[in-house]
Structure 1
């Protein structure tokens, strides 16, 4: 096959600002500790993490023909990720960009969507599905056109025995709607705690996970510094994160995704896969941005560390 994993979703630069990042209006000038322009977008960071872990990785994303688009293309090429931009999305909108205000233990994200919402379900063709062992979709709520037909995309993937996974990320509208049909044909759902509660409308994490597992999907929870947890029909397992000197948590959840996918596509069972994911998420926080400190495969195997 052409790809071990085809990642579908957003790709854009992130401008990560660290230090005194709480804005004070009134034309006050504030001095920062650091500013880094790095590759961002949940899909792009996940794709970069998958490639670092040895997977043949494609990224289907809408990227503009501008300076930010050139930056995205260069970073992906450095890691060996093949970027696929649909013809209809070429040069229609500027490449999206996010500004990350990164404070210890938390962050705020300001995003210009730009070309990001231009992806359509039809862009995930039957040919691409047949050329991929697994399809992972990210940042769904930034892409309403893709969301409308994603259930059909995943149904086509399932009919081809191609695995599927979904990381919705946060819903800026706060509605969290339109997921029931998609999750019914999703093999793996990868939320954080707030997203899992919002999607399920349950009172606690265990109830939320049980509800979604009963509907047919494996739930893999990204639980920050605590690590991760996985629920599947008839079982659950948890794995701790690693203790590291944290520089920036941007994209840690996307590196978590990559660790999980690399483990599963390498034949690991779910408990070991969530352990790989927790380690990958932890290690990715060692540098600014989401991709600079992403681990290699040996770093995720305890006997090799």
Structure 2
């Protein structure tokens, strides 16, 4: 029997990380960076890296441009062993992330890929239909794939990140979701939101709480909590994607939600120990 496979569609970007002692105030001033580096970014790339490292077969579908950033994104993911299908975009997504050691972040989007108007590639259709789980991250091309994913009948996992509970853009993703992930940055009461998603039809919903771990609600309405794994934090980028991947890999192996959350916490701690999305990139970049 073949291993369960995952299809992921969404952002893969090229990022510049700048670490500051504090986030900039909204006034003209000068600051000195504590550190800076260039690296792979994008929530879908982060999930694909963590799942690949956990031995889960993955197909990543992302848009990149015919530019230097796109060449870097493709080369790094190939070197890391991630199987990818590339869609053509006018420009590769690029970010400038201003970070603090405490994990605070301001992301400046330097360029974003435009969604192609052509038909969905047959290779993408095939990978989605063959997958055991379809992951659609927040972007225009995954949004275009929502009807196809729903028609395939495969479980759809969604990560709405710092959703505030009201934003319109997220609603089609949430409506299609069998599993919902988010963080608590903009939610007044994460548990209320999680229960609302289960009531709406999700099998379970999970909210990461940073240093406080994570909380989840299952189909029976039971609450599950897991503490964060203690780790010397190098960089917080990719931790949420690592948690997502750990939960997904564990669930594909038959773990309970409580067991999967433990696996997610461990996977997140692995990402926190690297200045890249995952330590596998330490040998690539």
Above 0.5 in TM-score?
A: yes
Which of residues 213, 217, 237 is equivalent to 1:227? 213
Q: 1:21, CA displacement in angstroms?
A: 5.7
Distance 1:145 1:41, change over 3 A: closer
Mapped to 2, the partners of 1:80 and 1:116 lie a distance apart of 26
CA distance in 2, matches of 1:75, 1:164: 27
SS at match of 2:201: coil
User: Retained in 2: the 8 A contact 1:121–1:150?
Assistant: no
Pick the aligned partner of 1:248 from 220, 235, 238.
Answer: 235
**Deviation of residue 94 (structure 1)?**
1.7
1:117–1:249: structure 2 CA closer, same or farther, 3 Å change rule? farther
Q: In the alignment, what sits opposite 1:104?
A: 101
Among 252, 262, 272, the residue aligned to 1:275 = 262
**Structure in which a larger fraction of residues adopt helix:** 1
Map of 1:137 onto structure 2: 136
Q: Please give the secondary structure, in 2, of the residue aligned with 1:61.
A: strand
Distance in 2, matches of 1:80 and 1:119, equals 29
| Number of equivalenced pairs | 275
- Structure 1 pair 280–120 and aligned structure 2 pair: CA distance change class (3 A): farther
Return the offset for 1:205. 2.1
Q: Give 1:302's aligned residue.
A: none
2:189 aligns with: 204
How big is the shift at 1:42?
0.4
Could you say which residue in structure 2 is the equivalent of 1:239? 226
For structure 1, the residue ranges without an aligned partner over 5 or more in a row are 198-202, 295-305
Say which SS state the counterpart of residue 77 (structure 1) adopts: helix
| Change over 3 Å in CA distance of 1:274–1:12 after alignment to 2 | same
Offset of residue 245 of structure 1: 1.0
Q: What RMSD, in angstroms, separates the aligned Cα atoms of the two structures?
A: 2.7
Q: Deviations over 1:159-212 (max 9, x none)?
A: xxx22201123469x9611544543331111111135x3xxxxx5222211111
Paired residue secondary structure (1:290):
coil
CA apart distance, 1:290:
1.7
Deviations, residues 206-233 of structure 1 (Å, cap 9, x unaligned): 2211111011111011111111122112
Aligned residue for 2:65, secondary structure, equals: coil
Question: SS where residue 232 of structure 2 aligns?
Answer: coil
For 2:113 and 2:42, how far apart are their aligned partners in 1?
A: 12
Runs of 4+ off more than 6 Å? none
Structure 2 equivalent of residue 177 of structure 1:
168
**Structure 2 residue 148 is the aligned partner of structure 1 residue 153:** yes
Say whether the 8 Å CA contact 1:3–1:57 is kept in structure 2.
no
Scaled by the length of structure 1, the TM-score of the pair is 0.80
Q: Return the offset for 1:146.
A: 3.8
Alpha-carbon contact 1:21-1:32 (below 8 Å) kept: no
Distance 1:19 1:275 in 2: 32
Mapped partners of 1:121, 1:270: distance in 2 = 37
Whether 1:257 aligns to 2:248 is no
